[in-house]
A and B are shown apart, each in its own frame.
Chain A
Amino acid sequence: MNTQIPAPQSAAPHREIEFIAPRRLFFLVSGALVLASIVMLVSGRLKLGIDFTGGTVVQMGFKQNVDTAQLRAALAGRFPGVDVQSVAAQGPYIREYIVRVNDSAEKSQTEKRVSEAVAAQGIPFEVMRVEYVGPTIGRHLQNLAFQAIGFSLLGIIVYVAFRFKSSVWGVAGVVALAHDVLLTLGFLMLMNREITLVVIAALLTLVGYSINDSIVVFDRIRENMRLNRTDPLDRVMNRSLNQTLTRTILTSATTLVAVGILYVLGNEVIKDFALTMLFGCIVGTYSSIYVASAMVLEYRTLGKARA
């Protein structure tokens, strides 16, 4: 491995990979994907979990073979729109199912009624997990999630603007963030995944990861701009991106390894988290180059052309 990925050499420009030249093509790609995500969002494809809508989730373990259709048949009569999902069985169980019921009642007896309906079929089972969220709490959690996201974004803009003493970098970093979050939401909608509290946590972690990646690249560009005032900006940027490339690859690799393990080993809750991070890491790395850096370049060249 040591020989396959050579360490970048600042004194060897001929070995540079050209990142900057095809940037407009990637603008198009990113733009199209962002647009597609927004269209899906607006058309209401986003599936909010019971954490935000209110409802009941019951996870049941069976020590005998029960199929999804059988369970759904037992429940569909009493709970129209019930969702029965089969998940990998663990421990003493042969089959495990997650039953979701969207009920907006403030006092819920749904879990009891679900248990009764299954018990009425004469199938022995154990309730492994119950989550009931009333509509009041759902609204409360929605508020909290919005506040967490809002304050995080605000904090990042302020910090980056303060540290880089120019709003271009801050704005470019945040545009890259918005790009990453939108694409990840689009991905989750495509995969038909629900937005739960844990997914929100993953999105915020991703926000941190993505801006982190942009800052590493930005720092290097600014350093090289100071060191070399004569080279055109696009060359300085390309060199900087190459210099940080090994780090970019290694860090995303170790992060992807960790997230991948969580996806493979984790339960349903963590799988959602891992999937969000998995996709987010890749987009986050990509956007540092083709959204954040490229935006700064376009802004600067535009400014020069006018002057």
Chain B
Amino acid sequence: MNEQAKSISIAVVLAAGAWFLWPTVQWMTMPPEARARAERDRDPILRRKLNLGLDLRGGMHLVLEIDRDKVPEGTDLTDAVERAVEIIRNRVDQFGVAEALVAPQGDRWITVQLPGVKDPQVAKDLIGKTALLEFRLAYEGPALERIGEKIRELEIRPREALDRPEVLALVPTGYILVPSIDEHHQDFLVVRSSAEVTGAYLTSARVELRPGEMAGPHVSLEFDTDGRRRFSETTRFNKGRVLAILLDGVVQSAPVIRDHIADGRAIITGQFTMEKAKFLATVLRAGALPAPVAIIEERTVGPTLGRDSIETGMRALAVAAALVLLFMVIYYKLSGFIACIAMTLNIFLVLAGLAALNATLSFPGLAGLVLMIGMGVDANILILERIREELHAGKTLRVGVDVGYQRAFVTIFDSNMTTILTTFFLFLFGSGPVRGFGIIMLIGLCSNLFTAVFVTKVVYDFLLGRGLVGRKMLF
């Protein structure tokens, strides 16, 4: 390659870097309102800008495990996980979190990432709730009295009846004992073991405010054709009976069927606050999870800590760069300065590479950048030491530089390859922020070969070829 071709290739790489980083610059200079608008409109800039990890921007990272034993029979585990991912994504969308990520991980795990969540507890409830809605007819008959007697005989509180085999033995076949929080049946209720209608038939769930006797927020439900037919049949033939509304196996309310309901409209009442009613409507609209999920990993970082981390990282980066620059310029003069230009270019290219690969900048990643400054100049030190030796051995400046680069390159390549190997495995097996560190080191070491070896050589060729600098200035 001649000098011109080399300069052009450097220019192309730099231009590509600038192109990949431009959206990030745009994003950082945007006023907050414009950012909010871009997030709402799902502006393509969101996918092109540099992503900050949850540890830097604040947010919540969850890993959920689906309860294998409770996946309905005949359903494949993979299908159940996929369905759960879709439902959780729906819920998160309705919750209004920008740039949320919901994805399956392994065969029965689900990763959820929510940047900038304000109330972690609400978010966890929203994601973790199974939200299985069922309408079941309540049992009315002599067994209820026998159960009551048994409870008095055992001298237990009514709630404890749910765990007592003596009590459960009294429940008639075809019925089950379930906990209840309805105001008239505050402890438990005996209901049919099969549901009349379930949330699967829902088409909408809304919060309504009703005036009058039953004031307060309710959740009003609408069913599809099938659901309406089932609802209509149940209410026509069971007038006067109690139809319990269960959410995740707990009776929320147990109204008496007064009339035949043909239009498939129902409401869930209860002592709801507005938030609770909204929450319920949201999870019902998104649908029920195929099986309960448990949170098996949580990492939440508050926005204050995230902001602190960014500031710390930036400060460390600036101080490290300044000290290494000072060190290199004092020791190697102009050559040290050229090495530092390479170092700066390297950081620029790493950030561009991150944006291009749509990777995430985490706090350990920032630490990796700082480390890159310290370790990256190694290539230049190797070259410059070698050139000095060659010059001491009596070679001319031009030959000394060429030979120095040639001799040092083998060593630089070998030593970089081994480090690249370890960081590659770190990236492959790392999780979360550590993966962010791995990718930074990986990109950094590769681009360091380009900036510290190739770019600096072009600079020397340019300077020496035109006789712009002498030996005294360089070494």
A residues within 8 Å of B by Cβ?
Answer: 1-2, 5, 7-11, 59, 61, 90-92, 106-108, 111-112, 126-134, 136-137, 141, 144-145, 147-148, 151-152, 155-156, 159-160, 163, 197-198, 200-201, 204-205, 207-209, 211-213, 215-216, 219-220, 223, 243-244, 246-247, 250-251, 253-259, 261-262, 265-267, 269-270, 273-274, 277
Contact = CB atoms under 8 A, between A and B. Distances in A.
A219 B301 CA distance: 46
Interface residues of B, number: 72
Interface in B397-426: 407, 410-411, 414-426
B294 A106 contact: yes
Contacts of B327: 253-254, 257
Given A137-B63, A209-B375, A247-B378, 6 more contacts: A92-B304, A128-B305, A134-B297, A201-B434, A267-B309, A269-B364
Interface of B: 63, 65, 120-121, 294-302, 304-305, 307-309, 312, 315-316, 319-320, 323-324, 327-328, 330-331, 363-364, 367, 370-371, 373-375, 377-378, 381-382, 385, 388-389, 392-393, 407, 410-411, 414-426, 428-434, 437-438, 441
9 contacts: A8-B385, A90-B308, A129-B305, A137-B63, A148-B426, A204-B423, A215-B414, A256-B374, A269-B364
A59 B305 contact: yes
Contacts of B414: 163, 215, 219
B90 to A, nearest CB: 23
Q: Classify the secondary structure of B's interface with A.
A: helix
B56 to A, nearest CB: 12
B414 to A, nearest CB: 5
Contact of B297 (A5, A137, A144): A137
A198 B433 contact: yes
Contacts of B428: 148, 151
Contact of A152 (B301, B330, B364, B425): B425
Q: Classify the secondary structure of A's interface with B.
A: helix
B330 A212 contact: no
Contacts of B393: 10-11
B374 A258 contact: yes
A208 B422 contact: yes
B389 A7 contact: yes
Given A61-B304, A251-B377, A7 B388 contact: yes
Contacts of B121: 112
Nearest to B372: A258
B323 A219 contact: no
A256 B304 CA distance: 29
Nearest to A148: B429
A211 B418 contact: yes
B418 A215 contact: yes
Contacts of B424: 155
Contact of B430 (A91, A129, A159, A201): A201
